[in-house]
Homo-oligomer: A and B are copies of this chain.
């Protein structure tokens, strides 16, 4: 069982045109920077990307959009990206907007072998159009289907060579859910250690979910909104 890959290029080498990808992160926080760079370099096209956001013009998934590698985005919010807007308006890009909690739950369902769940978000709105509804205890819900992906690409803080992962702070976000839902799950980590070096009580993603792991390099960790208070 060797899950360890040398780098991102090696880990994404078999991602082909038309693949369905999940990419972890919220905004630019906790995104798989190395894998995105490798995908931009390798250049698969016609990708479907399930990711809460679409990056910014020159970082994150925005880099793949710029190269027109993305056919469809499945996200909850895509507002930080001018190139995205251009491609969407020109019809080059499809987008499926999904309430953030429903998106999270559908990915979690996929990773938990649950084919469908009922959620309340979007009842009575255009999100509900064409969807089956049902009332439980006087409240209306939508039937929502599980998501899975050919490849789930996640970023963690620490990982071991058995694939166990620990995320840092709010860089956790969608990463553990997507790790569960990939047919192939690729994890890039800031620090890769030997089995036994992570406390088993603190592992967020057990290694069973992770097929490939490598230690990333040169993390930029760009901050989208730098807000500070003055030093006293």
Contact = CB atoms under 8 A, between A and B. Distances in A.
A105 B115 contact: no
Interface in A118-161: 118-120, 134, 136-137, 139, 141, 145
One complex includes copies of this chain to the number of 2
Contact count band on A: 20 to 34
Interface in A81-134: 105, 109, 112-120, 134
B117 A113 contact: no
A116 B115 contact: no
Nearest to A168: B201
Give the interface centre of A112, A117, A119 by most chain B CB atoms within 10 Å.
Answer: A117
A220 interface: no
Give the interface centre of A105, A114, A139, A168 by most chain B CB atoms within 10 Å.
Answer: A114
A116 B113 CA distance: 14
Contacts of A202: 201-202
A133 to B, nearest CB: 12
A169 interface: yes
Contact of A169 (B109, B112, B201): B201
